[in-house]
Amino acid sequence: MLKTTLAVFAAAAALGAQAIDRTKAPATPPIPDYKLPATFETKLPNGLTVVLLEDNRFPLVTVRLGFLAGAKFDPKETPGLSETTAALLTQGTGTRTARQIAEELASIGGALNGGAGPDSITISGSALAEHAPKLLEILADVTRNPAFPEEEVKLRIANRNQELQAQRSEPAFLAEEKLASVVFGSHPYSRIAPTPESLARIDRKALAGFHATWLVPNNGYLVLLGKLPPRAETLRLINERFGSWKQGQLPPAPKPEFPAPSKVIALVDRPGSVQADIHVGRLAVTRANPDYFPLMVANNILGGGASSRMFSNIREKQGFAYDAHSELDARREAGIAKAVTQVRNEVIEPATRAVLDELNGMIKGTVAPAELTRTKNFISGIYLLRLESQDGLAQQLITTKLMGLPNSFLEQYTARVRAVQPEQIQNVAGRYLNPENAAVVVVGDASKIAKPLEKFGKVEVTKAQ
Amino acid sequence: MKALAIPLLLAGSLLSHGAEVTIPIEKYKLDNGMRVILSRDSSVPVVAVYVIYGVGARSEQKGRTGFAHLFEHMMFQGSANVPKGAHFSEVESNGGVLNGSTHPDFTDYFQILPANKLATALWLESDRMRALNITKENLDNQKEAVKQERRLSFDNRPYATAIVDRWPLLAFRNWQSSHSLIGSYEDLEAASVEDVAKFFKTYYAPNNAVLSIVGDIQIPEAKKLVAAYFGDIAPQPQPKHPDMTEPAEFTPRTEVHKDAHARVPGVVIGYPGPVRRSTDYYALNILDALLTGGESSRFQQNLVKGKQSIIQYESNLGWPFAGPSDYKDPGMYAMFLLYKPNFSGKQIVEQAQEEIARVQKEGVDAKELERVKTFVRAFRIRELQGAMARARLLGQYELFDGSAEWLNKEMDRYMAVTPAEVQAAAKKYLVPERRAVLEIVPAPKAQAPTEGR
């Protein structure tokens, strides 16, 4: 499993206790090459894609069952239908109550949870390795035969309404909501959460309908890994549980149409805020786009990790913020690139300027070779760390499938990071990180920060809901 | 034990140990008193390097609240041979991640790197243990960063101020435990370069630290590197721990906190907990899993579902700033519940207490206890997958128990807990007569916390 091909410690072995020069960083070999463990992939006759991977390090099995059935498929008037469907899968089936499901899973040292994102629904779980057959049995039951019991539906909706209230007290949530609406326009990606009104429209019938339409084998990807039974036995178990599952006819996905990026300064007024949350964002690309790797490297130079430009300048040098970072959120149909920080009210003007300066710096300035190498190493190393646990591995594999990427995506990941050239970075920065057509979203107390923000252009103020 | 939507500064980890999984442990001490734990695992080419110092927020002095945490920030500002900012860039440019965190009873620093970069981590950790660069400029800068962290993570968020500033005052009577871990703006401002230098010399000595290394290493080479980098760092007199004794009498107490940012009411309920590693410690951790561990737990099935009163909950021995693995007495078993506004805080406290009372009266049936133990065992195996988690637990157990070997032994203790022991722990500890309650009430009009600048 996951063996390195390099002799580890070639440098260290030669060292005696006195031979160390403390004045400079030790010379170490390059980051070791490594091979992703081999996966086995097949498709059942009903269209369910199956990916298996042997990982015997720990006596566990881990599963992901994903469907292209995320929030973007919610009916326009019912945001929240996908996530509610996902959450209720484990809350009762034709033959098991929610309590029985919970108790059976606990008895096998397991858990199963349904969750939804913008593109997909994923049922995630694991169990002690000897109970793999039971885990598959329960997984198939909750996926194929959810009952959406009236009482559980009502409870989920009542609790989700409370959660929504709690989310609305978080400035970061308010900022993300505004940013998504500006960047994604009329595409369903613009809605990041349900509303009390849309939740009120969700009932058993709507849930069963969504489930019947989208959770079908020809729309699904099953990833199973860990200390598995022998291959033939594993396949037999999967066939037994999922083989008789009927295909469905899939409706078309919403058109990936997004507004042309333009400059907007949006202030969400949150009276009493002792700080301002600044989120500057713009429409970006999917992982399948050739610009993805250069942009991902650019994003890390800008604000990935503690030696990035935003962290070094905005936090460490200027002391404006505790957190200053950037993100690239690549979804199946589009992405969003954003720079994020939270600053005290008094420095809103210089801090906003500092964020915009860093974005401009990516376009106008050059990337030093050391900075580029450091960033590439950082990305490659993090990638390695993600493979440590079964959950990490499973997440990588299911994401590849749900994002519609070829299997080679993971294998070539590090090589493609390493191939990024400085001029490509400047190029993608000019196209995706340009503050001239980005949305500047600020959440804070308008009575304290609206005036200074006007220095950057016309400010649209809305009240926090 | 369920994660809440509100991230806290330091989330507690859960129950400890390994069952079928045995972690190799090689342990020794350098001449300067530094304890070293090595654990080889060649399955993934990464290495976790973890340094834990026996000093935390409970070691602080009056007028210097938040100092342990401020000091943790200073540890990233450079040392004799590592320029400011280089700690971050050296680790990241070698493909690793790093961080540090401050807790009531310890402060820790870690990096995870590709396995052939072990020397990089040891160079960085040893240089700052030997000769931290303490300047006024760095201190002023980090005071600002910490104040900003306080605004971001506490002052501007729901529940957080109540939990970090109010709850300790309610839970403890001894100042060492009852003061704010993040500190006041006034105290942060008052910290001087001399304070930092003294704190460094007193507490950041090799004899007050444990180094644990887990991953794809060769033991003999790792030993050579550790000796070369850390061997000649001078030891200091063993620091004294402040008296943390709590009064024997615990009077029940309730406080209501108005929270300007919260929209959903919450309540914290806590009870003084048992001695670490005692029979009651294991029984209470099992009881916690029975009450709040996972979907099949009593709170989930009876309160979130049955009574439909609670929305979310988290709890553990040591909550909010510690978990079972780093729980140190005196401490609390505490829970934090968010609930629907059509219930009162008093009703929620009564409902939680009723669940506990059922265990006190009826005990626990063998089948349910078996299920809970399986849950606990599987949870631990999952946790042990990461090299960092193993390094952290090994370091903590060596520091707290003088025995990293607990990692391979404690699951037997958990599996041996009897129904009678669970019932006895519930009766002895989780009683209304020894209960503290902090109600957190949404109050949109309440004054947001202001700064003492």
pLDDT tens digits for range B343-361: 999 999 999 999 999 999 9
Mean pLDDT of A33-45: 89
Which structure tokens are listed for B67?
């100092």
Instruction: Report d(CA B377, CA A70) in Å as an integer.
Output: 33
A34-48, A99-113, A170-184, B424-438, range with the lowest pLDDT: A34-48
Instruction: Report d(CA B100, CA B70) in Å as an integer.
Output: 11
Compute the mean pLDDT over every residue in chain B, rounded to the nearest whole number. Answer: 92
B293 in Cβ contact with B422 (< 8 Å): no
pLDDT exceeds cutoff 80 at B448: no
Query: Residue B447 has what pLDDT?
Result: 53
Query: Choosing among B91, B101, B295, B376, which should be mutated to test the A contact, i.e. which has the most A CBs within 10 A?
Result: B295
Residue of B nearest to A300 (CA): B92
Mean pLDDT of A222-244: 97
- Chain B positions touching A273 (Cβ under 8 A) are 156, 448
Measured CA to CA in angstroms, residue A252 lies from A68, A80, A314, B235, B279 at distances of 11, 19, 45, 70, 60
Residues 6+ apart with CB under 8 A from B45: A2, A3, A4, A6, A8, A32, A34, A384, B114, B115, B116, B216
pLDDT exceeds cutoff 80 at A160: yes
Q: Concatenated DSSP letters for B407-443?
A: HHHHHHHHHT--HHHHHHHHHHHS-GGG-EEEEEEE-
Q: How far is B293 from chain A (nearest CA, A)?
A: 9
Instruction: Kindly indicate the confidence band of residue B446, based on its pLDDT and cuts at 50, 70 and 90.
Output: low
pLDDT exceeds cutoff 80 at B145: yes
Q: How far is B309 from chain A (nearest CA, A)?
A: 9
B53 in Cβ contact with B203 (< 8 Å): yes
A118 in Cβ contact with A146 (< 8 Å): no
Nearest to A381 among B114, B382, B449 (CB): B114
Query: Residue A8 has what pLDDT?
Result: 32
Q: Which range, A267-271, B20-24, B147-151, has the best average confidence (pLDDT)? A: A267-271
Q: Give the three-class secondary structure for A430.
A: helix
- Chain B positions touching A1 (Cβ under 8 A) are 43-44
Per-residue burial over B140-176, b if 16 or more Cβ lie within 10 Å, else e, is ebbbbbbbbbbbbbbbbbbbbbbbbbbbbbbbbeebb
pLDDT exceeds cutoff 80 at B208: yes
Percent of chain B topping pLDDT 70:
94
- Chain B positions touching A131 (Cβ under 8 A) are none
- Chain A positions touching B312 (Cβ under 8 A) are 163
Asked if B156's CB is within 8 angstroms of A342's CB, the reply is yes
Nearest to A169 among B262, B312, B340 (CB): B262
- Chain B positions touching A110 (Cβ under 8 A) are 378
- Chain B positions touching A114 (Cβ under 8 A) are none
Asked if A171's CB is within 8 angstroms of B228's CB, the reply is no
Instruction: Kindly indicate the confidence band of residue A100, based on its pLDDT and cuts at 50, 70 and 90.
Output: very high
Asked if A155's CB is within 8 angstroms of B225's CB, the reply is no
- Chain B positions touching A125 (Cβ under 8 A) are none
pLDDT digits (tens, 9 = 90+) for B356-408: 999 999 999 999 999 999 999 999 999 999 999 999 999 999 999 999 999 99
- Chain B positions touching A323 (Cβ under 8 A) are 152
- Chain A positions touching B341 (Cβ under 8 A) are 162
Q: How many residues does chain A have?
A: 465
**Number of cross-chain residue pairs from A and B with Cβ atoms under 8 Å apart:** 277
pLDDT digits (tens, 9 = 90+) for A371-385: 999 999 999 988 888
CA angle at B197 for the pair B195 and B202, rounded to the nearest 5°: 95
Nearest to A322 among B21, B96, B148 (CB): B148
Mean pLDDT of A390-407: 96
Query: Residue A254 has what pLDDT?
Result: 79
Instruction: Kindly indicate the confidence band of residue B3, based on its pLDDT and cuts at 50, 70 and 90.
Output: very low
Q: How many residues does chain B have?
A: 453
Query: Residue B292 has what pLDDT?
Result: 97
Compute the mean pLDDT over every residue in chain A, rounded to the nearest whole number. Answer: 93
Asked if B228's CB is within 8 angstroms of A18's CB, the reply is yes
pLDDT digits (tens, 9 = 90+) for A128-145: 999 999 999 999 999 999
A25-39, A209-223, A276-290, range with the lowest pLDDT: A25-39
Instruction: Report d(CA A185, CA A181) in Å as an integer.
Output: 6
Query: Residue B102 has what pLDDT?
Result: 95
Task: Please name the helix (run of DSSP H) or strand (run of DSSP E) that holds residue A87, with its range, or none.
Answer: helix A81-88
Comparing CA positions, the residue from B38, B85, B333 lying closest to residue B211 is: B38
Query: Choosing among A57, A318, A322, A379, which should be mutated to test the B contact, i.e. which has the most B CBs within 10 A?
Result: A322
Nearest to A307 among B92, B148, B386 (CB): B92
pLDDT exceeds cutoff 80 at B2: no
Q: Between B450 and A314, where is the model more confident?
A: A314
Task: Tell me whether residue A172 is exposed, middle or buried, using C-beta atoms within 10 angstroms of its C-beta: 0 to 12, 13 to 18, 19 or more.
Answer: middle
Instruction: Report d(CA B200, CA B139) in Å as an integer.
Output: 13
A33-37, B197-201, B305-309, range with the lowest pLDDT: A33-37
pLDDT exceeds cutoff 90 at A216: yes
Q: How far is A213 from chain B (nearest CA, A)?
A: 28
Asked if B6's CB is within 8 angstroms of A166's CB, the reply is yes
Nearest to B93 among A166, A377, A390 (CB): A377
Instruction: Kindly indicate the confidence band of residue A215, based on its pLDDT and cuts at 50, 70 and 90.
Output: very high
Query: Residue B151 has what pLDDT?
Result: 85
Query: Residue B412 has what pLDDT?
Result: 95
A147-151, A249-253, B150-154, range with the lowest pLDDT: B150-154
CA angle at B216 for the pair B212 and B222, rounded to the nearest 5°: 55
Asked if A274's CB is within 8 angstroms of B451's CB, the reply is yes
Pairing of strands A111-116, A121-128: antiparallel
Instruction: Report d(CA B256, CA B259) in Å as an integer.
Output: 10
Instruction: Kindly indicate the confidence band of residue B451, based on its pLDDT and cuts at 50, 70 and 90.
Output: very low
- Chain A positions touching B449 (Cβ under 8 A) are 274
pLDDT digits (tens, 9 = 90+) for A329-364: 999 999 999 999 999 999 999 999 999 999 999 999
Nearest to A169 among B42, B76, B263 (CB): B263
pLDDT digits (tens, 9 = 90+) for A65-75: 999 999 999 99
Instruction: Report d(CA B41, CA B213) in Å as an integer.
Output: 10
Distance, CA of A315 to chain centre:
25
Asked if A57's CB is within 8 angstroms of B224's CB, the reply is no
Which structure tokens are listed for A308?
């990035």
Instruction: Kindly indicate the confidence band of residue B453, based on its pLDDT and cuts at 50, 70 and 90.
Output: very low
H-type alpha helices, A267-407:
292-303, 309-310, 348-364, 369-385, 390-402
Quote the pTM value.
0.91
Q: How far is A192 from chain B (nearest CA, A)?
A: 16
pLDDT digits (tens, 9 = 90+) for B250-300: 999 999 999 998 989 999 999 999 999 999 999 999 999 999 999 999 999
Which of the 8 DSSP states describes residue A457? Answer: S
